[in-house]
Amino acid sequence: MPLISTSTAAATAVIGYDLIGDSPLRQSLRNRVVSCVGLSGSAAAGDTLCRVMAGSVEIGTIYNNATGAVQADSGLLRVNWTVPSSQNLSVVVVDIPATNPVFLTMELN
């Protein structure tokens, strides 16, 4: 199970920024399932919103649920979002973090 884990500075995570834009795992020739996802960081829980996209289709949204890094035992949500083959997976910032880095962890199947 591939794992995407990123940390992005608040100054970089502007509206429209793709948190996984540099990840080689965002593209695949086979269908994928996002099985778990977690977003944390910034100055306060709930102040950052991201849109999870498969190509141009929104498959989910996620708020940061805590400050600091994503915790594997409490910060990951089970989602089972399907990403069709040849579609880019992206996590686009909709509401920017106030301060501090944001952390994204995503598990793919």
DSSP conformational letter for 30: S
Q: What CATH number does the domain containing 88 carry? A: 2.60.120
Q: How far is CA 28 from CA 48, 83, 85, 108, in A?
A: 28, 9, 6, 11
> Which of 59, 80, 69 has its CA nearest to residue 104?
69
| pLDDT recorded at residue 72 | 80
| Tens digits of pLDDT across the chain (109 residues) | 689 999 999 999 999 999 999 999 999 999 999 999 999 999 999 999 999 999 999 999 999 999 988 988 788 889 999 999 989 999 999 999 988 999 999 999 9
Domain count for the chain, please give it: 1
Print the domain residue range for 24: 3-108
pTM, 2 dp: 0.91
What is the residue-wise DSSP string for 44-100?
STTS-EEEEEETTEEEEEEE--SSSSPPTTTTPEEEEEEE-TTPPEEEEEEE--SSS
